Amino acid sequence: GSGTGWTLYPPLSTSLSNVGIDFIIFGLLAAGIASTLSSVNFITTFTSIKTIGSVIDRISPVAWSIVLTSFLLLLSLPVVTAVFLMVFLDRHYNTMFFESSNSGDPVLYQHLFWFFGHPEVYIMILPGFGIISLLLSTYTTKEMFGNQTMILAMGSIALLGCLVWGHHMYTSGLEADTRGYFTTVTILIALPTGNKIFNWVTTLQCVESIRSLGLVLFAVLFIVNFVIGGTTGVILGNAGVDVALHGTVYVVGHFHFVL
């Protein structure tokens, strides 16, 4: 192992001589480049649709979820790729990007890392939203309730998800105004998320026949787990509460219920 934890925070990641850290950095750089190219491929395919004006009606939520995920990857991956490259340069070429004793800023690493790290949560979960919508509309023989609002909700989540990275850093000494901003925007994500839950539940209430009980139950259990995870996330969005719960199993439980 690298001995630095999964976040590779400096100064630990820049001071240890463990070769495992270099292997992790090289692996992440390769994965970042590959994912960026895949995102470009998906987005290019999407933009090649001729009748783009009616695209929100013609494309399913699952396809939209892949497109939104690709945009998130294209926005955040170059940042985290650059920050890992900076760590590598600090380790081997005596740059001082994150060395506080030489005018570097280790908190800058946290900002850049979490600018990717929080959208990454939605990169993982957005395709799941699309798949659950597809399962419900296919195996309940019922069109998804509020199909367009479902797509708009996913778009809102993707947008807001890029603006809330600081709620991972409440214990790093952020100013009160900054913490207030991140608290407000974080809790705002509950609005489009609640819209999705409402659409799914309403679709289930209007069911006349079920083609596959097992798959529908799978979707229902996903919704239950996600509601628990989302509710605990709203609580963590408050900066004062988050400081008390930071680093506890409560945060681990929230994340695992969501994903």
Which tokens hold the place of 206? 């209007």
Per DSSP, the residues of 31-54 read: HHHHHHHHHHHHHHHHHT-S-GGG
- Residues 186 and 173: their CA atoms lie apart, in Å, by 18
Cis peptide before 61 (omega within 30 of 0): no
Q: Is the pLDDT of residue 141 over 90?
A: no
pLDDT one-digit tens code per residue, 92-110: 998 999 988 888 899 999 9
CB 181 within 8 A of CB 173: no
Among 41-55, 83-97, 138-152, where is mean pLDDT lowest? 41-55
Which tokens hold the place of 111? 């900002």
- Residues 141 and 129: their CA atoms lie apart, in Å, by 18
pTM score, whole prediction: 0.91
Residue range 12-258, CATH number? 1.20.210.10
- Residues 49 and 61: their CA atoms lie apart, in Å, by 16
Q: Is the pLDDT of residue 49 over 80?
A: no
**pLDDT tier for residue 50 given thresholds of 50, 70 and 90:** low
Distances (CA, A) of 140 to 173, 200, 229: 50, 11, 25
pLDDT one-digit tens code per residue, 215-244: 899 999 999 999 999 999 999 999 999 999
Q: What is the mean pLDDT of the chain?
A: 90
Which tokens hold the place of 217? 């139950």
